[in-house]
Amino acid sequence: MELPPMEWTLDYELDIRLDLRNPKLLHSHFIEAQLHGIEHLAEHVREEEQHFIDATEQSDGREPMEDFAYFYPVTYCTFNWFAISLTNYLRLVALVDLVNRTSWSIPDLVENEGVVNKTCRDYVEEIVPAVVQWRNKVAAHPAATAPIGINDKRREADRLGTLLQSFSCPVVRTAGYLEVARIRWQIDGETADLLPWSVTAIYEHLTPRFWPDKSLRPHRHKPGKEPKDEPGTYLRQARCAN
């Protein structure tokens, strides 16, 4: 009989591991649930991307998808669900690493709340800054429902374009990928500062580091219709990283 694994590698680049037999703080089930959710959401978007590839010519440029939220509401919402699930998962990975290094318990987390929050926040922001920004301004709650005003002494005021885009963001097809924030709204000269990102491109980029056994099925393009990556785009960088 094959014995169950004794540990789970969460981050292959930094060698962050969770002891499954004697976890210091976190049980693995919740972390596993987040990962399954992330994979499911990415697979859903990949299916939609393939649907558009099969139904249309390939897109080498930036092709706006008219009224995407109306015609494909679940896929539209998937960007929000993915952003929340991914940031939660990565924050937990950072917490596992912190607890491994410090042997802290739950009371220690409260006593060192500043260190815990900064460690988890910095880890996620370094890995997926565009997703974190989307999570903060769109997915957790639309920025328009809790705007940061010009009189706030601690935080920079929200741009007017960002407030509009927080509840009205176009979806674009680029090289077969569905992405958000490629088109940015502008009001009174204030352009939204959201960064463009794609669920599946982010997932593919993170696969070698975090879940090498859970790769997405690649796009299947028609012969002679394979898209060409635009130099300098984050999609090119994501593919090169793989």
Report the pLDDT value the prediction gives residue 3, as an integer from 0 to 100. Answer: 47
Average pLDDT on 207-227 reads 90
Report the pLDDT value the prediction gives residue 24, as an integer from 0 to 100. Answer: 76
More confident residue, 233 or 24: 24
Report the pLDDT value the prediction gives residue 200, as an integer from 0 to 100. Answer: 96
Hey, which of 19-28, 109-118, 176-185 has the most confident mean pLDDT? Answer: 109-118
Q: Which residues pair with 179 in a beta bridge?
A: 172
Torsion angle defined by CA atoms of residues 187, 173, 76 and 70, in that order, rounded to the nearest 10 degrees: 80
Contact yes or no for 201/191 (Cβ under 8 A): no
Which spans in the chain are helix H? 28-55, 68-71, 73-102, 106-111, 113-127, 129-134, 160-165, 199-210, 234-241
More confident residue, 179 or 23: 179
Report the pLDDT value the prediction gives residue 17, as an integer from 0 to 100. Answer: 94
Residue-wise pLDDT for 68-93, tens only, equals 888 999 999 999 999 999 999 999 99
| pLDDT-based confidence at residue 65 (cuts at 50, 70, 90) | confident
Report the chain's mean pLDDT, rounded to a whole number: 87
Residue-wise pLDDT for 120-150, tens only, equals 999 999 999 999 999 999 999 988 898 887 7
Contact yes or no for 52/173 (Cβ under 8 A): yes
Q: Quick check: 58 pLDDT over 70?
A: no
More confident residue, 238 or 50: 50
Least confident of 58-67, 78-87, 125-134, 162-171: 58-67
| pLDDT-based confidence at residue 242 (cuts at 50, 70, 90) | very low
Hey, what are 145's tokens? 């429902």
Residue-wise pLDDT for 176-209, tens only, equals 899 999 888 888 988 888 899 999 999 999 999 9
Q: Quick check: 26 pLDDT over 80?
A: no
DSSP string, 24-92: SS--HHHHHHHHHHHHHHHHHHHHHHHHHHHHS---SS-EEETTHHHH-HHHHHHHHHHHHHHHHHHHH
